[in-house]
Amino acid sequence: MHETMVAKNLLDAIEAEAAKQKARPVAARISCGTFNAVNDEVLTFAFAAIAKGTVCEKMKLLIEHKSIQGRCGRCTRQFDFDLTRPACTHCGCDKFDLLPDPPLLLEEIEFETE
């Protein structure tokens, strides 16, 4: 449900950029780590609801999820962490560090061209 707060912050950021570019945004790409717990359907719905009547109305949202990354204590390589099989996917070592979860980022906005 925190997606409504995310949607509001996203709308503010895109509206500010649209004013700067003096153009109508048509799509935005955002990225988030797993621990941000963003549900695509909820965020898309919340964004569409609050964007009504703004320059962002009918914009398309592309949401990219980044998996939790571990760094192996033996072979030092990075791997996708899975709690049900908590070991390095390259060498099987169970000594590893979890890397910080990527934050919620507004990566890119696409604007309409005349």
Partner 1 sequence: MGKKIQLGTKILSANEEYARQNSGLLRERGKYCLNMISSPGSGKTSILTQTITNLKGKLRIGVIEGDIQTQLDAERIRATNAPAVQINTNGSCHLSAAQVRWALAQLPLDEIDVVFVENVGNLVCPSAFDLGEDGKVVVLSVAEGDDKPAKYPAIFSKSRVLLINKIDLLASGGIDFDTDRVKTDTRRLNRDIEIFCVSARTGQGMENWYNWLINAAKKTS
**Interface positions with partner 1 (CB under 8 A):** 1-2, 4-6, 9-10, 12-13, 17, 21, 23, 26-27, 30, 34-37, 68, 83-84, 86, 97-98, 101, 103-113
| Both tokens assigned to 85 | 């099989």
- To the nearest whole angstrom, how small is the minimum distance from the Cβ of residue 16 to partner 1? 10
Rounding to the nearest 10 degrees, give the CA dihedral for residues 103, 36, 47, 107: 20
- How far is 112 from 114, CA to CA, in rounded Å? 7
- To the nearest whole angstrom, how small is the minimum distance from the Cβ of residue 34 to partner 1? 8
For partner 1, the closer CB: 52 or 84: 84
CB 35 within 8 A of CB 98: no
- To the nearest whole angstrom, how small is the minimum distance from the Cβ of residue 1 to partner 1? 4
